[in-house]
Structure 1
Amino acid sequence: MFKGRLPARLLALCVAAAATLGVSAVHADPVSLNIVDVAGNLQLTQKGFEAFKAKYPNLVSNITYTNAPAPQLPGKIKAMQAAGRADIDLVLTGTDALSAGIEQNLWVKLLPDNSAALPGVLDHYAPGPRKMQELAQGYGLEVAYMPAGPLVEYNPAKVPNPPHTPEQLLSWCKANPGKLIYARPANSGPGRTFLMGLPYLLGDKNPQDPINGWDKTWAFLKELNACVPYYPGGTSAVMKELGEGSRDMTVTVTGWDINPRALGIVPADFKVQSFDNMTWVNDAQFMVVPKGVSKEKLAVLLKLMNFMLEPQQQAMTYDDGYFYPGPAVAGVTLTMAPQASQDVIAKYGRPEYAKWLAAYPHVVPLSAQAMVAAFQKWDREVGATKSQ
């Protein structure tokens, strides 16, 4: 038996053997994680992240949370990476910053590169979410799902006959200038769902090609622009104005209909209307890891992602209807959600949603590259005409 320090050669052999067995020769200290949310996702997932920290104090010492606008994040991450810094460990994003980050090569390739640490992860998703997961191209993992819209939300006291078609929406807007509003699509789930849903409603020649296939959509948006007062930078501002009564109508999605009414931002008696012969443009939120994160942190993040896709954490995504329904994995029902979530959905959910979800077809959003192109064209040709 050796006394005192091991000879250097024997110590090296022990370290190599430990590495071969896939274990650390020296116990690693728990890491501190910085999570940035550009999608409002934390209200669905923060309790799950905290549960992970409580369950694995040997892996995570602290988690900090930051909110940021989706359009600004890719530029910030790109600058950090150019400076050799890794201040952000995990990003929670919708399809907007996900797409921009893929386009700019900002995200770690999770699959198939780390498939050993994410065993069978794709098999967990329900059919609709599984199609949405393909949009991530392996660069992110879907954590929440919503068959979104587009829908019209309105004040029934001011709008006795809500529009059922884009043409009727345009006519109402012209007759009531300043009373219809929607947010900049690059930073708004309802805004981009409306943008991507219009080509189907208007019969454009290629709904998946915003540059060469959306002639009717761009013409419609430019005509609608004349009676829209301005474009807020996010959906929260839209709902605030709708609730306060300065606007009478907006475009929305299931979650942004339920949640603001549950929170009292929008009156509970406000209504929604589907478009005739609509196509649902589904939505999802993803977990992505910026390039530059250390191997030690990445190992913890991969374990965290697995944890967030377990049924108990997924059931929390029902929340207060913000991303209705919420769960991305198969078999997670409302009865598994916290009682508070069940009560909110019972009170503020819409019985007509089940009918509309079954009656109309569903499609995934634009690809990452096409979505970025659509946002840029909207910003340049529609949004730039008015201050935001």
Structure 2
Amino acid sequence: MIFSGSGSARYVAACATLTAAATLTAFAPLAHAAGPVALNIVDVAGDLQLTQKGFEAFKAKYPNLVSNITYTNAPAPQLPGKIKAMQGAGRSDIDLVLTGTDALAAGIQQNLWIKLLPDQAAAFPGTLDRYAPGPRKMQDLAQGYGLEVAYMPAGPLLEYNPAKVSDPPRTPAQLLQWCKAHPDKLIYARPANSGPGRTFLMGLPYVLGDKDPQDPVNGWDKTWAFLKQLNDCIPYYPGGTSAVMKELGEGTRDMTVTVTGWDINPRALGIVPAEFRVQAFDNMTWVNDAHYMVIPKGVPKEKLDVLYKLMNFMLEPAQQALTYDDGYFYPGPAIKGVTVDQAPAHSQDVLKQYGRPEYAKLLAERPHVLPLSASAMVAAFQKWDREVGAQKTK
């Protein structure tokens, strides 16, 4: 939605740097430059784990275009308000944002992002034709305001400690029954700032057979009723998934909701024991996920020209192969024809050791759908915050 930094500590660094959002307003306005430009990239999705090496490769290849790149991590819910305030003050401190569907949706709703397609189509020739079929549908969610840079058929999935859970739930009813029998042992994070949390939220209407899975306000009667019942046996809702995985790995909790990447990566990094298992609902529908590159309004033209070239560079096969990473956003690549054989040897080793053979079967057999539209996603987050998590979110 383990997603920044470098080395094996990147997962933990993503948690520790959440407070860096407070520094966003501290950057001085960027000066217009005739030569190479300095870029400030803000990540609210953990996407730098997948893409930072690619950005650095661009800087190395084009020193005439980029003098320096600064990277900052921030919580997704806080960023739109900060950007709106900066734009109101006539500042352009942030040049590129890496976001999941959460801040993408909020920014579209608040008119924060530059419209790239079709407005700047000449800068992105043939880009839409490069996406693989699943990612191409996810690109449509951006409504032209961003370019998809990574892709994950996400979930929802349940992750559990097999030493504590001998018969994992296969239906929402069984999950509720298990939760009531084991109070405080199931946990998930606030959906507005958690990929697994929002995938669980958006996947339930399909599993429960709600009237309209794409309408959280008028079509999710069964989902909201279920989540309110489940609320009674959940201790609290952390502000992000990193805290959830830490508690799961330490044994404080026995079960959580997850997605493919948040299953593989914390086990590869030793945050969660390697032997922990996953379970899909019997009639699950995959809710797919993606990361996007978006540009806030107000960025000066000489930077836009560089950013457009950078975004195209990040969709080249060599950079896309890096998104396999340590399984964080599994599989990762968004464009056609990029296979795991093209990934770095380390990525291949991680996926061999910590990947799940059952994922291939599940991905092939179960249907796939897009997440909610921008406006519907914001409405779902607001309704969850108000009616489910209001008293328990930390």
TM-score (normalizing by structure 1): 0.93
Which of 256, 265, 272 is 2:262 aligned to?
256
Q: 1:296 and 1:164 mapped to 2: Cα distance?
A: 54
The match for 1:159 is 165
1: CA distance, partners of 2:175 / 2:329? 25
3-state SS in 1 of match to 2:390? helix
Give 5+ residue unaligned stretches, structure 2. Answer: 1-32
CA contact (8 A) 2:323 2:332 kept: yes
- Any idea what the Cα deviations from partners look like across 1:127-150, whole Å, max 9, x if unmatched? 000000000000000000000000
For 1:373, the equivalent position in structure 2 comes to: 379
- Tell me which amino acid in the other structure corresponds to 1:337: A
Match of 1:146 among 144, 152, 173: 152
SS at match of 1:142: strand
Structure-to-structure mapping, 1:1-388, within 5 angstroms: 28-388=34-394
Between the two proteins, what is the percent identity of the paired residues? 84
Report deviation, 1:277: 1.1
Q: Secondary structure at the match of 2:79?
A: helix
Paired residues of 2:190 and 2:393 also in contact (CA < 8 A): no
**Cα root mean square deviation, aligned:** 0.7
Q: Which runs of 4+ in 1 moved over 6 A?
A: none
CA distance in 1, matches of 2:251, 2:351: 25
CA distance in 2, matches of 1:135, 1:349: 28
In structure 1, C-alpha distance between the alignment counterparts of 2:365 and 2:167, rounded to whole Å? 22
Give deviations 1:81-138, integer Å, cap 9, x for gaps. Answer: 0000000000000000000000000000010111101101000000000000000000
- Aligned letter for 1:238? V
| Aligned-partner Cα distance in 2 for 1:198–1:387 | 20
How many matched pairs? 362
Q: Partners of 2:243 and 2:391 in 1: how far apart?
A: 19
Distance 2:110 2:165 in 1: 43
What amino acid maps onto 2:254 in structure 1? Answer: D
CA distance in structure 2 between the partners assigned to 1:76 and 1:190 by the alignment: 25
The whole-number CA distance in structure 2 between the counterparts of 1:84 and 1:120 is 33
For 2:321, give the aligned amino acid: A
Residue in structure 2 matched with residue 8 of structure 1 by the alignment: none
* Deviation of 1:387 (Å): 4.0
Give the 3-state SS of the residue equivalent to 1:92 in structure 2.
strand
Displacement, 1:28? 3.2
Aligned equivalent of 2:8: none
Q: Which amino acid aligns with 1:365?
A: P
Cα-to-partner distance string for 1:224-272 (whole Å, 9 max, x where unaligned): 0000000000000000000000000000000000000000000000000
How far apart, in 2, do the equivalents of 1:186 and 1:244 lie?
Answer: 24
Contact 2:151-2:290 at 8 Å conserved across structures: yes
Q: Say which one has the larger Rg.
A: 1
Amino acid at match of 1:382: V
Q: How far 1:386 moved relative to its partner?
A: 1.6
Question: 5+ unaligned residues in a row in structure 1: which ranges?
Answer: 1-26
- SS of 1:287's equivalent? strand
